[in-house]
Amino acid sequence: MENLGTGTGNYAGYSEQTIVNGTETMNGVSTDGIVSASYSYSSTWSNSTGTTETGSSSGDFTFSSITLLYVNGTDDQTGYVNPTVWFYMDNSIPNGGTFYLLNTEMTVISTNYSYYLPSLNSSVNAIFAQGASNYQRNDQYGQFTATYTWNAYFDPSTGYIIGYSYVEHDTNSSGDGFTYTDNLYVSSTSYSLATTTAGNTSGGNSSLTQYAGYIAIIILAIVIIAILVYALSRRSRRTLPKHPSQQQYLHPGPPPPPIDLTPNEPPVQQIVIKEVVKVKCRYCGALIDSTAQTCPICGAPRT
């Protein structure tokens, strides 16, 4: 679930929310460690003015199980230079070791962390990693200095994502700003997650290269199903869903229709009626115009 809120300046009182449901499917792996994968998701976006939008995206991509870099295409990630995948890590990295998710450097905080997974209503054993950085936002939201912290949790036995929490603060010199949060967790997986119990210890002692050997056997079954808020996109140059213009969210509701000064009816024709007084001819009695000089009937002068 993605949320934008706690705004200041022009963003005071404005909020947005995006809910995304999707899947990441690992379809096969070649002898050189290239994994064929696909993704699909649908999203619903809404804001505090009552506007709602829906969308979806799907496609195929590949990544290296050795370097974890995207090779051909991505799962809808844009704005990055040679990024690594966000949903998979080398599960042999020890405490204090580092790796990258997309373009963010992450540090392993714990290899035996108890992570509460809402979809199971239980805690599971996880590798906990954290990264923090900043970037300059320049998009339809404006120009801001953005600082963020990203906590991510992975299954120790496979290295696949379990969930994450991303918090970003955007500010500028004009006093405008907002907080953006992005929370994800898996609702179902084709690999087993170890619930936290007393004496539970971390797995993940094998290297990713060694693990790639048997991943070729089970890769067809490994599917991350229904990842809530899959759209972890654009960490370095993030583009948030479009929001209404300043005028719209200061004055909610659709804009008034344009004023058309062109008449809808044809112009009214002006008709002038001239009234002429009639008088009787003093000789024949016929009615003649008072302006006539002679009677048109008898020819006698009017006066």
Q: Tell me: the pLDDT tens digits for 147-168?
A: 999 999 999 999 999 999 999 9
- Band (pLDDT 50/70/90 cuts) for residue 258 is very low
Residues 6+ apart with CB under 8 A from 254: none
Return the pLDDT at 285.
72
Tokens standing for residue 86: 């966000």
Model confidence pLDDT, tens digit, residues 263-285: 444 444 444 444 556 677 777 77
pLDDT (0 to 100) of residue 283: 74
Tell me: do 133 and 13 sit in the same domain: yes
Least confident of 63-77, 96-110, 226-240, 270-284: 226-240
Based on the domain organization, do 165 and 72 belong to the same domain? yes
181 shares its domain with 299: no
Q: Given the structure tokens 């050795």, which residue do they identify?
A: 66
**pLDDT tens per residue, range 30-88:** 999 999 999 999 999 999 999 999 999 999 999 999 999 999 999 999 888 999 999 99
Residue 257 lies inside a defined structural domain of this protein: no
Q: What is the pLDDT of residues 174-198, one digit of tens each?
A: 999 999 999 999 999 988 899 986 4
Q: Are residues 136 and 189 in the same domain?
A: yes
Please check whether residue 221 lies inside any domain of the structure.
Answer: yes
Answer yes or no: do 284 and 244 share one domain: no
Q: Is the pLDDT of residue 217 over 80?
A: no
Residue 255 lies in a domain: no
Q: Are residues 130 and 273 in the same domain?
A: no
Show the DSSP H helices in the chain as ranges.
208-218, 246-250
Q: Tell me whether residue 227 is in a domain.
A: yes
Residue 258 lies in a domain: no
Least confident of 16-20, 172-176, 189-193, 243-247: 243-247
Say if residues 190 and 157 touch (Cβ distance below 8 Å).
no
Q: What's the structural domain count of the chain?
A: 2
Domain hosting 19: range is 2-250
pLDDT for residue 240:
41
168 within some domain? yes
Q: Which pTM value belongs to this model?
A: 0.68
Residue 298 sits in the same domain as residue 169: no
Token pair, residue 200, equals 């539970």
235 in the same domain as 276:
no
Q: For residue 191, give the DSSP letter.
A: S
- Say yes or no: 172 and 220 in one domain: yes
Residue 31 in any domain: the answer is yes
Is a pLDDT exceeding 60 seen at residue 135? yes
Q: Is 160 found in the same domain as 101?
A: yes
Q: Are residues 92 and 144 in the same domain?
A: yes
| pLDDT number for residue 277 | 60
Q: Cα(112)–Cα(123) distance, rounded to whole angstroms?
A: 12
Q: Is the pLDDT of residue 1 over 50?
A: yes
* Among candidate residues 4, 1, 13, the one with its CA nearest the CA of residue 246: 13
78 and 139 share a domain? yes
Q: Is residue 271 situated within a structural domain?
A: yes
